[in-house]
Amino acid sequence: MSIGGVDGVEWKPCWVVVNAQAHREFVAASNLKKQGYEVYAPVIRKTTRHARVSRECLAPLFPGYLFARWTAPDMRWRPILSTVGIRSIVRNGDEPSRLDGAIIDALKAREKDGVIVRAESQREIGQTVRFARGPFDGIAAEIVELCDKDRLVVLMTLLNRQTKITVLEEQLSTC
């Protein structure tokens, strides 16, 4: 089956969203490229911890998903379903959902050296902050680690004891 245009509407190149198997986005992208598809799998830099060792690695911006480009109305999409690393294609009924190229262009515009650059946090390690809401409202803490996804690890005094907790950045205000 191919992605065709609707009667009376001119067909134009588009992107479709491909669902990859868990933690196999890079394998799926490689196999799709070998089959001749143009593939876009945006990545971010992420800090991971294992055995008390932190290291920076590349991780998918959209875990489990990547994009494949259709450049001709008669391109077949069903072979993608049997590609190693692919689970399915995001569809609208029986046809793949089409994604405008402007969305991909906007993502690519945020890249630097092939990696999506996230908006920088205004917080710094060692900065003193205060909880702005929740059960710790008004209590001061010190930032000890900047995590991904808008989370911070703060050190606070709780019951006369230093305690580290992970919180959302939006829960804090500057002292």
Tell which residue, 123, 147, 64, has the closest CA to residue 166.
147
Tell me the one-letter amino acid at 151.
R
Q: Which residue has the higher pLDDT, 32 or 174?
A: 32
The pLDDT score that the predictor gives to residue 9 is 61
pTM above 0.75, yes or no: no
Mean pLDDT of 65-72: 92
**Residues contacting 49, CB < 8 A, separation 6+:** none
List every span in the chain annotated with CATH 3.30.70.940: 14-116
Name the DSSP class of 76.
Answer: B
> pLDDT per residue over 50-59, tens digit each?
888 878 889 9
Q: What is the CATH number of domain 14-116?
A: 3.30.70.940
> pLDDT per residue over 109-131, tens digit each?
999 999 988 776 678 889 999 99
List every span in the chain annotated with CATH 2.30.30.30: 128-174
Hey, what CATH topology would domain 128-174 get?
A: SH3 type barrels. (2.30.30)
The CA–CA distances, whole Å, from 85 to 30, 37, 129 equal 9, 14, 44
The pLDDT score that the predictor gives to residue 3 is 56
Mean pLDDT of 75-92: 92
pLDDT at 5 over 70: no
